[in-house]
Amino acid sequence: TWKTAMRDITSETPDITKSIVHHVQTSLARAPYNIDDFGAYQAAALSVRDNLIVNWNTTQIEYSRKSQKRAYYLSLEFLMGRTLSNALLNLGLLDQYSSSLSSLGFGIEDILVQERDAALGNGGLGRLAACYLDSSATQELPVWGYGLRYKYGIFQQLIKADDGSQLEAPDPWLEHQNPWELPRLDVTYEVRFYGSAQRWGEGTGRATWSGGQEVLAIAYDVMIPGYGTRSTNNLRLWESKPKRGFDLQSFNAGNYERAVESSNSAAAITSVLYPNDHTSFGKELRLKQQYFWTAASLADMLRRFKNLEKPISEFAEYNAIQLNDTHPTLAIVELMRILVDEEELSWDSAWTIVTNTFFFTNHTVLPEALEKWSVPLMEHLLPRHMQIIFDIVTVEKRFPGDRDRLARLSLIEEGFPKQVRMANLAVVGSRKVNGVAELHSNLVQKNLFPDFVEFYGLSKFGNVTNGITPRRWLDQCNPSLSALITDTLKIDRNVWLKDLYKLKGLLAHVDDPQFQARWAAVKHQNKERLALFVERQLGIKVDAHALFDVQIKRLHEYKRQTLNILGVIHRYLLIKSLTPEERKKVVKKVVFFAGKAAPGYYIAKLTIRLIVNVARVINADPDTNQYLSLFFLPDYSVSVAEILIPASDISQHISTAGTEASGTSNMKFCLNGGLLVGTVDGANIEIAEEVGDDNVFFFGNLTPDVEDLRYRHTYHPIPVEQKSPALAHVLNTVSSGIFGSDGVYEPLLNTIREGDFYLLTDDFDSYIRALEMVDEAYADRTEWVKKSIRTTAKMGKFSSDRAIQDYAQEYWNIESVKF
């Protein structure tokens, strides 16, 4: 077909077809007759990229011409997923490319799946950053992202065939040319580490930092197209490189290892994404990553600002910087260093600029995620920054003598060694601090930073509930539902995808049996698609008529995948105890899990192993497997989520109350008409407020009771047998060895039997009741479909367009740039 297409290229041939063929022959330097799907993907991507570059250039020129205030989103993680399908959607070119590719003999579906996910993130925090970039561009807001161009993204997850445990392999996502980035070899900055800092200028706070290691930061730009607009923003990712090639002297002396030592250490900075989620690190390399990235990003912003020829005192009027969690907090200190040491501003003027520029979002209340760095390490790696941190003593002026309070407010935690508290530094150096859902923002104020609330007043603290982009998380992943919505609302898709509150219009059709039937048919079709995917992956057939129950997220004790798997075992035992006749009344169910565990997180990895081995037993049991089956889908990614989410009947968001800051997959499932089983936690609460309590299956203890329950676990423990005989039976079954012998799961089970920090024993019975209510509700299929429609209809609030507008208006004070 390629040959025919090539021969047949005439002035009548669509431009897109010509452009694809052109890229095959020139950019790929390949002959058209031996092009496979991957080659066709590359050529199509390069052709789409041509469009993006034109829009991207125009947008950047307009930003410079209009000289408006800009915002910068500093995030160590951007979990972008695939780009081609999203770019085609946003450019409005999906149909054209689909038909051009088809005229060349390729199916668009086969081409889209050739792309490797860009997985430069661990989970929710990184995916949120990606959604915010999409919404910023869509709303024509001058927002750039800054991050790192890791050579290896989040590890690839494999499941060991013999014992079902997780194995990790590298993710060489840059193995092939990445068509979505533009290397900017001319945009480079030098970043210093180590060396020494000499104070000078008596009383000015100034110093000179010299010596040490200098590393080059090289910019790679990733184009971020807005939906239905030419506005195309930039995500600038930094790669580290040695400043000088290698040490020629050592090389000539025959010491090859020494010759490349320093260049290897420079390149190592951006070589791999840290695979930990929600845990702190003691790794020097991680601190190096943080400084390398913030220093290069700030130097870049300063250079851009200087082009405006405005006085440096006006920096904050033209720039807002959002700190995505504590990881970029060093930017506060780096800007102080630049303003005081290089721009020679007074300390106070510099501090005023800094505290008007930065905004800080906290994404978790888990204590282990509140970053701390040892003072000796900081002094060694960043001696000038450590001086500046010691000089930031603002809070200590207010409460003279109140030692306890000062100790809590301090940027430095006493101990051996002393530690720098990055969260305190972020609060002190930012204009506003927010959490990511109402409940979480309240906990940030009450539990995390109560002394700072008292010190600064409540006005410094706020909330921006997270959001998701409906482009990727409805239109792209669920095209049939999107088409049905457009057809039903009788408004252009462009309109409701940009104003998600318009989904409310679906409510007028809830009682229309024809619409209900079409809605149900779309869900079924998505379930069939998932069933096929599972069959291809795992070789097992899935009954798409069963209820699909999904839990997909990072493996963590607080997210309680363990509660879910114990619930599955409970259901299995129950079905097993029924007579064949009784079993026929059981609601058929398929349970899906997916998610990665941090490589060093033993208990989380044990949970995966349990899930995989329970699945092996249950799926092979002829007594029960038509009523209950279970799958753990390996190597969870954005692309896998795009298949799972549209297919769910229910999804589980079952964290211990008060532990999940927000959650964003809860929003994605509900937007796609899946109902939610959850605890009263994070954004579940606001989802229920919107869709109505009767459309959500809530269970479990509430946040205010958690501390008290934990206290009782420690001081007045009650045996599991007494608290929940059902749970005790399940635990004993696991111990009995039917899912694996030698007591492998005992450490996991003991976290529940002893201490039970995440309150599984307290919530198990109500969890099981909630699942029974799901079964009852699912039995009435018409009512179920109505719930599903109502849920989607009420999800307007959770568009990331709303969230990004909250930031733009309440925090950054930026306006869209129209052209």
The one segment of 183-191, 579-587, 621-629, 657-665 that binds ligand DL6 by CB under 6 A = 657-665
DSSP run (H or E) holding 462: strand 461-463
Tokens of 427: 């609060």
Cα–Cα–Cα angle for 230, 235, 240, rounded to 5 degrees: 150
Contact of 604 with 564, CB cutoff 8 Å: no
Identified binder of ligand DL6 from the candidate list 128, 131, 339, 644, rule CB under 6 A: 128
For 142-161, the DSSP string reads -EEEEEE--SB-SPEEEE-T
Residue of 49, 70, 363, 372 with catalytic role:
363
Known catalytic residue at 288: no
- If one asks whether residue 35 binds ligand DL6 (CB under 6 A), the answer comes out as no
Catalytic residue among 241, 327, 559, 609: 559
372 binds ligand DL6 (CB under 6 A): no
Query: Angle between the 347-357 and 330-337 helix axes, to the nearest 10 degrees?
Result: 140
Catalytic pick from 49, 432, 570, 668? 668
* Catalytically annotated residue among 17, 607, 624, 664: 664
Judged by CB under 6 A, the residue of 325, 334, 635, 649 near ligand DL6 is 325
Residue 121 binds to ligand DL6 (criterion: CB under 6 A)? no
Over 666-689, what HEC string results? HHHHHHCCCEEEEECCCCHHHHHH
Active site residue 559: yes
Residue 69 falls in the annotated catalytic set:
no
Q: Do residues 460 and 435 touch, judged by C-beta distance below 8 A?
A: no
Question: What residues have CB less than 8 Å from 785, skipping those under 6 apart?
Answer: 516, 519, 520
Binding range to ligand DL6, per CB under 6 A, among 122-130, 225-233, 633-641, 721-729: 122-130
Q: Which stretch binds ligand DL6 (CB under 6 A): 117-125, 719-727, 729-737, 803-811?
A: 117-125
Please identify, using beta-carbon distances, which residue of 124 and 429 lies nearer to ligand DL6. 124
Contact with ligand DL6 (CB under 6 A): which of 542, 575, 661, 677?
A: 661
The smaller minimum CB distance to ligand DL6, of residues 74 and 215, is found at: 74
Residue 278 within binding range of ligand DL6, rule CB under 6 A = yes
Distance in Å, CB of 30 to ligand DL6, minimum: 41
| Residue 221 or 371 with smaller CB distance to ligand DL6 | 371
- 228 sits near ligand DL6 (criterion: CB under 6 A): no
φ, ψ of residue 194 in degrees (nearest 5): 65, -145
Nearest approach in angstroms of CB 710 to ligand DL6 is 20
CB atoms < 10 A from the CB of 87, how many? Answer: 23
Q: Does 287 bind ligand DL6 (CB under 6 A)?
A: no
Tell me which stretch binds ligand DL6 (CB under 6 A): 123-131, 405-413, 417-425, 512-520: 123-131
Q: Tell me which of 76, 125, 336, 568 binds ligand DL6, using CB under 6 A.
A: 125
Least CB distance from residue 285 to ligand DL6, whole Å? 17
Please confirm, yes or no, whether 668 is among the known catalytic residues. Answer: yes
Member of 39, 328, 663, 700 binding ligand DL6 (CB under 6 A) = 663
- Edge-to-edge, what's the strand order for the sheet holding 547-552? 628-633, 589-594, 547-552, 650-653, 675-679, 696-699
**Toward ligand DL6, which CB reaches closer, 466 or 788?**
466
Nearer to ligand DL6, 786 or 802 (CB): 802
Three-class DSSP category at 283? coil
State the Cα angle at 319 between 316 and 321, rounded to 5°.
Answer: 105
Among positions 664, 672, 679, 703, the unique one binding ligand DL6 when judged by CB under 6 A = 664
CB-neighbour burial class of residue 213 (10 A; exposed 0-12, middle 13-18, buried 19+): middle
Of these residues, 23, 241, 472, 554, which one is catalytic?
554
Catalytic residue among 471, 553, 556, 790: 553
Binding-site size for ligand DL6 (CB under 6 A) equals 18
State the DSSP string of 762-810.
Answer: HHHHHHHHHHHHHHHHHHSHHHHHHHHHHHHHT-GGGBHHHHHHHIIII
Nearer to ligand DL6, 114 or 441 (CB): 441
Which of 155, 174, 176 minimizes the C-alpha distance to 166? 155
227 membership: H or E segment, kind and range: none
Check residue 233 for interaction with ligand DL6 (CB under 6 A).
no
Site for ligand DL6 in 410-469 (CB under 6 A): 436, 466
Q: Tell me how far apart the alpha carbons of residues 8 and 267 are, in angstroms, rounded to a whole number.
A: 48
553 binds ligand DL6 (CB under 6 A): no
674 lies in the site for ligand DL6, by CB under 6 A: no
Q: Shortest approach of ligand DL6 to residue 301 CB, angstroms?
A: 23
Give bridge partners of residue 181 from the DSSP assignment: 222
Nearer to ligand DL6, 87 or 683 (CB): 683
Residue 657 sits in the site that holds ligand DL6 (CB under 6 A): no
Closest listed residue to residue 733, CA positions, set 568, 503, 599: 568
Residue showing the smallest CB distance to ligand DL6 in the complex: 124
Element (H, E) at 107: none
CB of 594 to ligand DL6, least distance (A): 17
Q: What's the gap between Cα 184 and its chain centre?
A: 26
d(CA 525, CA 150): 37
CB 593 within 8 A of CB 154: no
* CA triple 359-553-703, angle to 5 deg: 65
Q: Which of 228, 275, 682, 796 binds ligand DL6 (CB under 6 A)?
A: 682
Segment near ligand DL6 (CB under 6 A), from 143-151, 363-371, 544-552, 755-763?
A: 363-371
Residues in the chain: 819
How far apart are alpha carbons 295 and 192 in whole angstroms? 9
The answer to the question of residue 364 lying near ligand DL6 (CB under 6 A) is yes
Smallest gap, in angstroms, from Cβ of residue 768 to ligand DL6?
25
| Residue 332 binds ligand DL6, judged by CB under 6 A | no
Nearest CB to ligand DL6, comparing residues 234 and 466: 466
330 binds ligand DL6 (CB under 6 A): no
Q: Site for ligand DL6 (CB under 6 A): which residue of 290, 662, 695, 701?
A: 662
Between 392 and 443, whose beta carbon lies closer to ligand DL6?
Answer: 443
Residues 6+ apart with CB under 8 A from 181: 149, 220, 221, 222, 237
**Contacting ligand DL6 (CB under 6 A), which of 39, 123, 153, 470?**
123
Q: Is 117 in the site for ligand DL6 (CB under 6 A)?
A: no
Indicate whether 131 belongs to the interface with ligand DL6 (CB under 6 A): no
Please compute, for residue 811, the number of CA atoms within 13 A of its CA located in the half-sphere on the CB side.
30
Minimum distance, C-beta of residue 426 to ligand DL6, in the bound complex (Å): 12
Task: Tell the residue number behind the tokens 């990733």, with chain if given.
Answer: 222
Q: Please say which residue, 361 or 761, places its beta carbon nearer to ligand DL6.
A: 361
Q: Rounded to an integer, what is the distance from CA 271 to the centroid of its chain?
A: 20
Nearer to ligand DL6, 439 or 544 (CB): 439
Q: Which stretch binds ligand DL6 (CB under 6 A): 121-129, 187-195, 449-457, 802-810?
A: 121-129
Residue 82 C-beta: closest distance to ligand DL6, Å:
21
Q: Counting contacts by CB under 6 A, is residue 470 touching ligand DL6?
A: no
User: Considering only CA atoms, which of 274, 296, 267 is closest in space to residue 192?
Assistant: 296
Candidates 295, 369, 654, 759: give the one binding ligand DL6 (CB under 6 A).
369
Alpha helices in 253-382, H assignment, sequence order: 256-268, 284-307, 315-318, 330-337, 347-357, 375-381
CA distances from 453 to 343, 447, 459, 461 (A): 32, 10, 9, 7
What CA–CA distance (Å, rounded) separates 314 from 151? 37
Give the interface with ligand DL6 as residue ranges (CB under 6 A): 123-125, 128, 277-278, 325, 363-364, 369, 436, 466, 660-664, 682
Residues with catalytic roles: 363, 553-554, 559, 664, 668
